[in-house]
Structure 1
């Protein structure tokens, strides 16, 4: 299960970090992402209706790879997996959360910001982590530095990733994808501006496409 889900994330290259409140917002946002060519969402547990949103997307839009973010307790692991989350993301590396995710067979990307965090994740059997908050933790330079002693680890930087610096991350061989919210900003959701979310999503997908490395002669 881990390999399949992580392979899909790696193929999509961007994971929208979504803040939605309730089933209707979740379903409409998922529709907007799909229309923009990006059938994946990390629904963060930041608002009271986040679980309802996750449940709606998982039930009504099976083609969308839906995950849960801001998972910080083992009980939340149970709740989001029951709601249909296919992957979990946490802001830190917390043993009870990681172990419970493994017990339920759901891939988890725990947050890291230091070499000690990475070592803790490795000890828990994790090979793909979330650099968070990426811009504060050192950005692309931090990933390059951490990749030297931890060549077996792959990263999904999140926090401060945007259209302007996306390829600074995606061009690194140890980055499988980047998490970002610029295409799904909360004011767009509350305004119901699904067309703008679709437009930004399509732009992000085009921007994230692997760049050509062909040579002449």
Structure 2
């Protein structure tokens, strides 16, 4: 049974470590890509709200997985206003991600007990998001605002902050280690994880393998960092 509780969804995202971000106008492609992610161990997947009829594609995907024993925790990204968030929540979105902080979206999500991860670039924006009840804050655009070094600057005075950078995060040992060493809680990766080449080739096994490798890398790196803190 799919967890509908906001805390359960947030915990699943934090445990997963890497959140695949994906959109395609073809519902069948989306279904296959999302299933590949689930097979790899990435139950939390962010569906990007982009392109014509994206909400209908999302609804079609949610309907497909509705009867599955193991359902993805499918969230929606690129949400900038409350009406859009409400529509996706009505379609079954388990979390809402945006490129910016919108107080109306935060209040709506709080009312419906749905996780909201807004995009922030400054400590003031992050603090405002936390005041609105956001447990995880999307650092966006991650690379452009300063990358891992900027994360370290934020975590020093605000160590309770859970950051999820997207942009300039790559599914490689070097990139993931830099980001997790800086103090991030989780990261989102789009086309650098689910490449257009793999999608066009309908190479869903290749997508599954690449997502699985990224999850294993993140898990190992975080275990090593935790062990270093204990020693």
Indicate whether the TM-score tops 0.5. Answer: yes
Which of 22, 34, 57 in structure 1 is aligned with 2:26?
Answer: 22
Shift of 1:172: 4.0
Equivalent residue number for residue 40 of structure 1: 44
Structure 2 unaligned regions, length at least 5: none
Shift of 1:39: 2.0
Range with bigger deviation, 135-144 or 188-197: 188-197
Residue 186 (structure 2) pairs with residue 177 (structure 1):
yes
Which of 166, 171, 178 in structure 2 is aligned with 1:163?
Answer: 171
Equivalent residue number for residue 54 of structure 1: 58
Shift of 1:73: 1.1
Deviation string for 1:100-141 (max 9, x for gaps)? 222222110001111121122123222310001101111111
Kept in 1: contact 2:171–2:193 (CA 8 A): no
Q: What is the aligned residue count?
A: 214
SS of equivalent residue, structure 1 residue 171: helix
Shift of 1:76: 0.5
State the alpha-carbon separation in 1 of the partners of residues 39 and 135 from structure 2.
Answer: 32
SS of equivalent residue, structure 1 residue 67: strand
RMSD: 1.9
Scaled by the length of structure 1, the TM-score of the pair is 0.90
Kept in 2: contact 1:163–1:204 (CA 8 A): yes
Structure 1 unaligned regions, length at least 5: none
Shift of 1:13: 0.6
* Structure 1 residues 1-217: aligned runs within 5 Å: 1-61=5-65, 63-164=71-172, 165-173=175-183, 175-181=184-190, 182-211=192-221, 212-213=223-224
Kept in 2: contact 1:127–1:152 (CA 8 A): no
